[in-house]
């Protein structure tokens, strides 16, 4: 879409209470990198419920006016383990604890116990379903290789970079198949980029670029934020964007999904990535307060002082799964209204 301030989402949407138990993301024994919360159904009934939850997400996004949609990750207990648990080499039956996100928190994680390989399609049926349900462009999300390495315990490679590179090969195989199926955007979630800027420069960009080899029609996106807000877990905002944006400017990725709202980062940072389309984070997933459309429009117009508006998309900072569903709906509607205002006023 070659128009100013296209509206999109980062990925996740809240799950209805009838689909999954409602617990904090950092609940003991059910970490987002471990086994996750429990479904309210099982068997064939669960499959039908997941279909209906995906339809509900699409309805909510289309009703709000979102122009590039996702399935809201309704079929995933975790944005990450839904993918990694289907790769050969990871064990999620016996979890262990590991400090993640540069010692932000001690998490229960799966273990890498052998070579990482993709033996079968992971998201084929899920993408096929959403493509049948909507005519809008569809985004599919995958966890990035550096984030996978940080979110698992390496008991096989004993080399973080080598683990990440093998993960990247597997993700690339999946991405090529998703592109062939008709995904418009394939996003790699790399929240750990903000926590380890030195690793981004050393090998993170190389691993990300390996994920993208051979992609030609789908847009590729790297999502960088400061991770989900969690009750009782500090969320320090460190000054890492200047380093990682300089590094990402030289990468093969087409788009960058960046957090600006909760972190209050300076939009002038956009000058560091002039060749990229930027999903400009203007919705905070850590508060129930509904953003004002006028404020959103002003922020998008300020961003357009540093990057052409056709290279700026309106998006939340991160996935909206931490929020109540009703709040997420209102926030998306505010974002769409703000983008409309900015589009109307640009160039006046």
Locate the DSSP E strands across 144-190: 152-154, 185-189
Give the residue-averaged pLDDT of 125-139.
98
DSSP for 48-70, please give it: HHHHHHHHHHHHHHHHHT-SBB-
Kindly report the pTM of this predicted structure: 0.96
**Residue whose entry in the numeric block shows the structure tokens 């419920």:** 49
Backbone angles phi and psi of 289, in degrees to 5: -65, 135
Instruction: Summarize the confidence of residues 294-319 as an average pLDDT.
Output: 98
Q: What is the pLDDT of residues 109-127, one digit of tens each?
A: 999 999 999 999 999 999 9
Q: Is the pLDDT of residue 16 over 80?
A: yes
> pLDDT at position 25, please?
72
As a whole number, the mean pLDDT across the chain is: 94
The first and second tokens of residue 17, run together, are 């209470």
In tens, the pLDDT along 94-113 reads 999 999 998 888 889 999 99
| pLDDT tens digits along 70-87 | 999 999 999 999 999 999
Q: Is the pLDDT of residue 204 over 80?
A: yes
Pairs from 90-97 (Cβ < 8 Å, separation ≥ 24): 90/116, 90/152, 92/34, 92/35, 95/34, 95/35, 96/153
pLDDT at residue number 23: 80
Report the percentage of the chain scoring pLDDT > 70.
Answer: 96
Q: Specify whether the CB–CB gap between 15 and 76 falls below 8 A.
A: no
Reference 211, options 149, 165, 243; nearest CA is: 165
pLDDT band at 26 (very low <50, low <70, confident <90, very high): low
Q: Is the pLDDT of residue 29 over 60?
A: no
CA atoms 74, 311, 184, 337: torsion sign = positive
Give burial (CB, 10 Å; 0-12/13-18/19+) of 132.
exposed
Which pairs from 38-42 meet CB under 8 Å and 24+ separation? Answer: 39/77
Q: Is 13 left (phi over 0), alpha (psi -120 to 50) or beta?
A: beta
**30-44, 165-179, 241-255 — which is least confidently predicted?**
30-44
Place of tokens 């399609």: 121
Between CA 14 and CA 82, with CA 12 as vertex, the angle to 5 degrees is 105
DSSP-based three-state secondary structure for 294? helix
Of the candidates 152, 246, 250, which has an alpha carbon nearest to the alpha carbon of residue 197?
Answer: 246
**Could you give the domains of the chain?**
6-345 (3.20.20.210)
Tens digits of per-residue pLDDT, 329-342? Answer: 999 999 999 999 99
């Amino acid at each position: 879409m070659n128009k100013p301030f296209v509206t999109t989402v980062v990925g996740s949407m809240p799950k209805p209470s009838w689909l999954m138990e409602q617990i904090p993301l950092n609940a003991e024994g059910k970490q987002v990198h471990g086994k996750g919360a429990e479904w309210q159904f099982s068997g064939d009934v669960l499959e039908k419920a997941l279909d209906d939850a995906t339809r509900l997400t699409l309805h909510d996004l289309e009703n709000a006016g979102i122009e590039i949609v996702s399935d809201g990750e309704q079929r995933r207990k975790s944005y990450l383990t839904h993918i990694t648990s289907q790769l050969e080499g990871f064990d999620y039956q016996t979890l262990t604890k590991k400090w993640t996100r540069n010692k932000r928190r001690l998490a229960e994680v799966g273990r890498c116990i052998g070579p990482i390989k993709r033996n079968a399609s992971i998201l084929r049926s899920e993408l096929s379903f959403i493509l049948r349900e909507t005519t809008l462009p569809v985004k599919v999300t995958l966890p990035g290789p550096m984030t996978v390495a940080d979110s698992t315990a390496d008991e096989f490679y004993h080399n973080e970079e080598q683990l990440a590179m093998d993960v990247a090969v597997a993700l690339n195989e999946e991405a090529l198949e998703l592109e062939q199926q008709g995904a418009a955007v394939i996003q790699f979630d790399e929240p750990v980029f903000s926590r380890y800027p030195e690793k981004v420069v050393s090998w993170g960009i190389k691993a990300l670029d390996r994920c993208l080899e051979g992609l030609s029609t789908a847009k590729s996106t790297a999502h960088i934020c400061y991770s989900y807000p969690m009750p009782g877990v500090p969320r320090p905002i460190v000054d890492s964007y200047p380093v990682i944006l300089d590094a990402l400017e030289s990468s093969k990725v087409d788009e960058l999904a960046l957090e600006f709202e909760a972190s209050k980062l300076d939009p002038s940072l956009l000058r560091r990535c002039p060749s990229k389309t930027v999903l400009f984070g203007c919705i905070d997933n850590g508060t129930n307060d509904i953003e004002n459309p006028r404020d959103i429009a002003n922020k998008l117009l300020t961003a357009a002082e540093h990057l052409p508006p056709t290279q700026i998309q309106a998006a939340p900072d991160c996935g909206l799964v931490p929020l109540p569903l009703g709040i997420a709906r209102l926030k998306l509607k505010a974002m769409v209204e703000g983008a409309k205002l900015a589009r109307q006023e640009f160039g006046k």
